[in-house]
Amino acid sequence: MHWPMLIEGISLSASTKNHSVLRTPDGRHLRLNQASTTLIRLLQENPHPEAATRAFNQHFHTHLHTSDFHQLIQHKLAGYGILATDANHPKRKTSRYLSFQIPFFSPTVAGILATPFRPLFKPPLFTALFSLLMVVMLGGLASYAQATLVWASIHWFLLACLVYPSALIHELGHVAACRTAGISHGPIGFGFYLIFPVLYADVSQVWQASKKQRIIVNLAGVTNELFYATCLLSIYYFSTELTFLLAFYLILFKVLFELNPFARMDGYWLFSDMTNTPNLLAKANGRIKEVFTYLFVPSKRRGISFHRTENWLLLYGIMNILFIFIYAGVMLNREAELIVRFPKIVIDLLLKTVQLDITVDAFKREYFFVAIFYWLVGSFLYKLIKKLYRASKLNRRTSDVYRTSSG
Amino acid sequence: MKNEKVNVQDFQPALVALFEVEELEERMEFATWGLSAKVSNKDTQAQLFLALPV
């Protein structure tokens, strides 16, 4: 038996009335209910096994032996990197969805760059500013149909210079909101979400903040972008240069998309925090699996409940999946011929790149959408095959055991 | 005397179920560049679109 059980460097903070969040020294966050929080506190306060067991029995009105208490701790807490014995246990899976992360602004540099935006995220001012910017956004979207954009008079280079920095301005908003609330944050960097190149700000420590603070941090990115877009609109009014107006509209559409709750964009975190549902996507997928099993796999059927929370999780999960199916259906309908030719096009493009014979014109925008189609369908099939393979392996093992026991 | 090989989760399932631990997903707030502007060589028709990530 190895004591003390907990390693140094764990921080525990209250998140809601019934839950707290534990941060591990390697930066993972665990959500604990009241009983688990008490267990951690007992372990921190009682470094000796007998004393800890005694305190536990007293608190929970149990009669566990020290060895049982030890076993309980291992069962519940091993693998998260908080127990001294964790080196002997397989690490529990962490949820990572951004690949090839390249941080390029350290937390200190990101904090300095975000300094001018910090006053925007003080609660009373933030509420007023956000409401005002929402009015600007809705007004802008409503007026888009009437806008007369003369494409020939657009300066494309200027447009790119105006719109592309909005991603960095967005990230600086998240960092500024963290700084204003006194929450630590990570770096700003570059990475890939699914197949999309993105700029990211690591704000994982916001799990330790209150719900209100988390919501402000979630909205800070789009607030910064809308603020920037409004500045561009003002320049347009003074200069009548249409490029600024187009940049304003593009940022509005971008913000609108960022507020959707289905990809892990800002709208996702907002929805997750507002409904007090951490790990929203995983829970929705789990719920779909549960209902699917209940309906179509009678052999694995277990009791299932249909409470309000479970119902909206199911609805959210279905909408998530529907979105993928609708996209795939539209692409098959519109770009069937290109989908068939796409593998050859990719090979040709690669060959041309190697031979340094490539031009910008070789890339058509349709390729991008077909690439998304391939990625979605590919990952869906990959998961399905993996699942079927696991199931057949399990079946083989079960029948082997059955044969051995009956033999 | 209790059998040493019996797990606490077997003889005290209600107690074990009392303790909930859930690992939270990492929070990467991100933004993607939505714009791709291209001017064709043949005419000045501009192709502009928002690349919507899914």
β-strand partners of A196: A193
Contact state of A196 with B38 under an 8 Å Cβ cutoff: no
Q: How far apart are the first and last CA of chain B?
A: 59
- Give mean pLDDT, residues A24-41: 92
A84-108: pLDDT as tens digits: 887 766 676 666 788 888 999 999 9
- Return d(Cα A245, Cα A278) in angstroms, integer: 38
Q: Is the pLDDT of residue A385 over 90?
A: no
Touching check for B33 and chain A: CB below 8 Å?
A: yes
CB A203 within 8 A of CB A215: no
A3-26: pLDDT as tens digits: 657 888 888 887 677 899 999 988
Domain ranges of chain A: 11-88, 98-274, 280-406
Q: Is the pLDDT of residue B9 over 80?
A: no
Contact state of A217 with B29 under an 8 Å Cβ cutoff: yes
- Return d(Cα A63, Cα A223) in angstroms, integer: 55
A152-208: pLDDT as tens digits: 777 878 888 898 899 999 999 999 999 999 999 999 999 988 777 889 999 999 999
> pLDDT value at position A378?
87
- Return d(Cα A164, Cα A284) in angstroms, integer: 33
Q: How far apart are the first and last CA of chain A?
A: 40
Picking from A328, A185, A169, A160, the residue whose alpha carbon sits closest to that of residue A255 is: A169
CB A189 within 8 A of CB A102: yes
What the block records as the tokens of A107 is 């937390």
- Return d(Cα A250, Cα A272) in angstroms, integer: 27
- Region of A13 (left: φ > 0; alpha: ψ -120 to 50; beta: rest) is beta
> pLDDT value at position A390?
79
Residues from chain A that touch B29, judged by Cβ atoms under 8 A, are 171, 174, 200-201, 203, 217-218, 221, 266, 269
The pTM of this model reads 0.83
A204-249: pLDDT as tens digits: 999 999 999 999 999 999 999 999 999 999 999 999 899 899 899 8
What the block records as the tokens of A370 is 């077909």
CB A39 within 8 A of CB B19: yes
Residue among B9, B33, B38 minimizing CB distance to A164: B33
Q: Which of A20, A254, A372, A377 to substitute to test the interface with B, most B CBs within 10 Å?
A: A254
Nearest CA in chain B to A35: B19
Contact state of A279 with B20 under an 8 Å Cβ cutoff: no
Q: Return the higher-pLDDT residue of B13 and A269.
A: A269
Confidence of residue A335 (pLDDT cuts 50, 70, 90): confident
Q: Is A336 exposed, middle or buried (0-12, 13-18, 19+ CB in 10 A)?
A: exposed
* CA A355, A358, A362, A365 torsion-angle sign: positive
CB A54 within 8 A of CB B48: no
- Return d(Cα A28, Cα A32) in angstroms, integer: 13
Q: Which of A43, A62, A178, A200 to substitute to test the interface with B, most B CBs within 10 Å?
A: A200
> pLDDT value at position A87?
72
Touching check for A204 and chain B: CB below 8 Å?
A: yes
- Give mean pLDDT, residues A274-288: 91
- Give mean pLDDT, residues A318-323: 86
CB A222 within 8 A of CB A244: no
CA dihedral A217, A269, A97, A296 (to 10 degrees): 170
What the block records as the tokens of A261 is 């709750």
Chain B: closest CA distance from residue A95 (Å):
5
Q: Is the pLDDT of residue A130 over 90?
A: yes
Domain ranges of chain B: 8-50
What the block records as the tokens of A180 is 């204003």
CB A221 within 8 A of CB A171: yes
Q: What 3-state DSSP class applies to A22?
A: strand
**Lowest-pLDDT range of A131-140, A169-178, A318-327, B3-12:** B3-12
Q: What 3-state DSSP class applies to B7?
A: coil
Q: How many CB atoms lie within 10 A of CB A58?
A: 10
Nearest CA in chain B to A369: B51
Pairing of strands A11-14, A19-23: antiparallel
